[in-house]
Structure 1
Amino acid sequence: MSDDVSTEPSADQPTFRSGFVCFVGRPNAGKSTLTNSLVGSKVAITSSKPQTTRHAVRGIISRPDAQLVVIDTPGLSKPRSLLQERLNDLVHQTWSEVDVVAVVFPANQHVGPGDEYLVGELAALARRPRLVALATKSDLVGPDRLAKHLVEIDALQEKLGVRWEHIIPCSAMTGAQVDEVADVLVSLLEPGPAYYPDGEITDEPTETLVAELIREAALEGVHDELPHSLAVEIDEMRPREGRPADHPLVDVFASMVVERDSQKGIMIGHKGERIKQVGIDARRQIEALLGTPVHLDLKVKVLKQWQSDPRHLNRLGF
């Protein structure tokens, strides 16, 4: 007997749908927070800092009637470095591979030139996926402001020549309308099989998730250009030898990579206080991810102008 999910409807079973949805928007529009809310678990790091998401993070939502794979992409912005050029290329490539693009418009910000540029890029695609508009962060504004925001989003259809299948206000922080977002996205998918085993929530390698959790902790409290200049590299990750089976320990050796010696000093902090706090915060998240105690060994490394050096970018996985 096959375990494959049937995509054929029966009298008592609706058609099983599956497909890929991409979240796009300006930096800090709430894409990663919404991805985590839909998945019901943390698969993408979040921060108020720019350029938090640096690769396409896949979150998997499995339901009895569907499997929805949500791809959280970096914010599309004017490139200031080879890194940002590559991130923009990643966004455009993802658009060509998904069934639906959900454009995120935070309700606490007016629809502006950056949003129009993004939607204009979608309008110019030779193969245009189905489009949904999401008014995120609806909990941060009142009813009147939200209504005006929805009108601004709707006006982009005629102005830029696109068609929204749906416009949905939602809040990932409060959970308002998040289930409705999932239902709408599923309704736009074609019949198809489940691509991932039930219970799997992401296809991110564990080392990548660990590196991202360290970067998330390191982003807290930094300012100016440092968030752009910060990357994290896992040097080694292994179970501690000789530990009893009921008391395991995982050793994680990682490097926070910056571009200048002055940035290294900032990340280490006065008498090492900053790097110590990053380690405490990151270790707590990593232990929750792995379900086991962790020894985290952090250091800071300088790679001059790594954002614009192809060799460094390749080494860091960009």
Structure 2
Amino acid sequence: MEDDDNTDLPLDSQLPEISEWQTIPQAPEGFKSGFIAIIGRPNVGKSTLMNCLVGQKIAITSPVAQTTRNRLRGILTTPEAQIIFVDTPGIHKPHHQLGKVLVQNARIAIDSVDVVLFVVDGSVEAGGGDRFIVDILERTKTPVILGLNKSDQQPADSQRINNSYSQLAEPHNWEIVKFSALTGDGTDALQQTLINSLEPGPYYYPPDLVTDQPERFIIGELIREQILLLTREEVPHSVAVIIEMIEEQPNLTRVFASINVERDSQKGILIGKSGIMLKTLGSAAREQIQKLIAGKVYLELFVKVEPKWRQSRLRLAELGYKVEKD
């Protein structure tokens, strides 16, 4: 159970609900638009990049790999184009049913977008995981741009690193762009490269929208982000957050959420001694939710044990994880 403070939040941080969407305008002559999938190994900065490009936090980030689970769309609208980014789970060798669903969704995204932005960790040389993704991309007709993230972390002598990625890109004539999603350096050039890769097209969404995901989904993701940040390896990916109920009052939004884990020991870690961990992550999540909805929030969290939920396709679907349709 969480209290709230009297923080005043800027109105421009509020995401519009579907009911508030304006009429989609007609695009001017020469306007470009399209869908771009952001793919790569786990923990290369895909979600951080999408947040940077759309100018608002809509995807959760964490030092823990495999943070992204759902196919989240971020929307960037400029005077000359509208880009719909599809943030995908990190492509890796899956070890459970949830992992298989996530990787399958990433593969589906590759063939259902206009352009693929293949993001790699530009602070280290290309590895086997990157080459595994190259093998997948060789089977698609979708155009690919290779993005070298973390340019701010490259060592002074980065020639070997750059050469390792050039060797991946050159056989396929992929354009290479270097940038840092964390500092924003080089992202303007990346944005222009992405716009240049698109064909003329209409507005798909109202210009002021930054995501197509409902507020309820993002609230659940903000709670899950704090769990990943505060527990790290102790409760890695055995957690799913379900928003049970949202009550909107004139001056307060009440959010009731359940945190599903697989083992009693994980429940104990999340609650903590005398409930201190649950209170800590609830307070941190509430601060993020208040920024999202631009108002005061009361957050109440419950922890439930759902044994082996990641291994059950039925339970995965009930918790919102299922193979996307292309």
TM-score by length of 1: 0.91
Secondary structure in structure 2 of the residue aligned to 1:144: coil
Secondary structure in structure 1 of the residue aligned to 2:213: coil
Deviation at 1:178, TM superposition (A): 0.5
1:172 match: 181
Counterpart mapping for 1:131-280 below 5 A: 131-145=144-158, 147-157=159-169, 161-164=171-174, 166-224=175-233, 226-240=235-249, 245=250, 248-280=251-283
Could you tell me how far apart the structure 2 residues matched to 1:230 and 1:208 are?
Answer: 15
Does the 8 Å CA contact 1:22/1:73 hold for their aligned counterparts? yes
Could you tell me how far apart the structure 2 residues matched to 1:306 and 1:215 are?
Answer: 16
1:5 correspondence with 2:27: yes
How many residue pairs are counted as aligned between the two chains? Answer: 298
Q: Against the structure 1 CA distance between its residues 60 and 3, is the aligned structure 2 distance closer, same or farther, given a 3 Å change threshold?
A: closer
Deviation at 1:4, TM superposition (A): 1.1
2:300 match: 297
Could you tell me how far apart the structure 2 residues matched to 1:284 and 1:307 are?
Answer: 29
Deviation at 1:196, TM superposition (A): 0.5
1:28 correspondence with 2:65: no
Does the 8 Å CA contact 2:150/2:181 hold for their aligned counterparts? yes
Could you tell me how far apart the structure 2 residues matched to 1:163 and 1:235 are?
Answer: 49
Could you tell me how far apart the structure 1 residues matched to 2:203 and 2:112 are?
Answer: 17
Deviation at 1:218, TM superposition (A): 1.0
Does the 8 Å CA contact 1:213/1:285 hold for their aligned counterparts? yes
Secondary structure in structure 1 of the residue aligned to 2:206: coil
Could you tell me how far apart the structure 1 residues matched to 2:203 and 2:299 are?
Answer: 36
Could you tell me how far apart the structure 2 residues matched to 1:79 and 1:3 are?
Answer: 42
Deviation at 1:3, TM superposition (A): 4.1
1:40 correspondence with 2:40: no
Could you tell me how far apart the structure 1 residues matched to 2:74 and 2:161 are?
Answer: 28
Secondary structure in structure 2 of the residue aligned to 1:227: coil
Could you tell me how far apart the structure 1 residues matched to 2:31 and 2:155 are?
Answer: 38
Q: Against the structure 1 CA distance between its residues 144 and 224, is the aligned structure 2 distance closer, same or farther, given a 3 Å change threshold?
A: same
Could you tell me how far apart the structure 2 residues matched to 1:213 and 1:61 are?
Answer: 21
Deviation at 1:225, TM superposition (A): 5.9
Secondary structure in structure 2 of the residue aligned to 1:273: helix
Q: Which runs of 4+ in 1 moved over 3 A?
A: none
Deviation at 1:170, TM superposition (A): 0.3
What is the letter of the counterpart of residue 203 of structure 1?
D
Secondary structure in structure 1 of the residue aligned to 2:241: strand
2:124 match: 109
Deviation at 1:239, TM superposition (A): 0.8
Does the 8 Å CA contact 2:25/2:206 hold for their aligned counterparts? no
Where does structure 1 lack aligned partners over 5 or more consecutive residues? 9-14
Does the 8 Å CA contact 2:125/2:165 hold for their aligned counterparts? no
Does the 8 Å CA contact 1:50/1:228 hold for their aligned counterparts? no
Q: 2:137 aligns with which of 113, 117, 122?
A: 122
Deviation at 1:316, TM superposition (A): 0.6
Deviation at 1:299, TM superposition (A): 1.1
Q: Against the structure 1 CA distance between its residues 50 and 225, is the aligned structure 2 distance closer, same or farther, given a 3 Å change threshold?
A: farther
Secondary structure in structure 2 of the residue aligned to 1:114: helix
Does the 8 Å CA contact 1:23/1:104 hold for their aligned counterparts? yes
Deviation at 1:270, TM superposition (A): 1.0
Does the 8 Å CA contact 2:124/2:154 hold for their aligned counterparts? no
Does the 8 Å CA contact 1:150/1:167 hold for their aligned counterparts? no
1:18 match: 33
Q: 1:73 aligns with which of 65, 85, 88?
A: 88
Secondary structure in structure 2 of the residue aligned to 1:255: strand
Could you tell me how far apart the structure 1 residues matched to 2:307 and 2:25 are?
Answer: 52
What is the letter of the counterpart of residue 4 of structure 1?
Q
Could you tell me how far apart the structure 2 residues matched to 1:284 and 1:77 are?
Answer: 32
Superposed CA RMSD: 1.3
Does the 8 Å CA contact 1:100/1:131 hold for their aligned counterparts? yes
Does the 8 Å CA contact 1:268/1:274 hold for their aligned counterparts? yes
Does the 8 Å CA contact 2:123/2:155 hold for their aligned counterparts? no
Q: Against the structure 1 CA distance between its residues 283 and 188, is the aligned structure 2 distance closer, same or farther, given a 3 Å change threshold?
A: same
Per-residue Cα deviation, 1:116-164 (whole angstroms, up to 9, x for no partner): 0011101023xx211111110111123422x332211110135xx5330
What is the letter of the counterpart of residue 26 of structure 1?
R
Could you tell me how far apart the structure 2 residues matched to 1:252 and 1:138 are?
Answer: 39
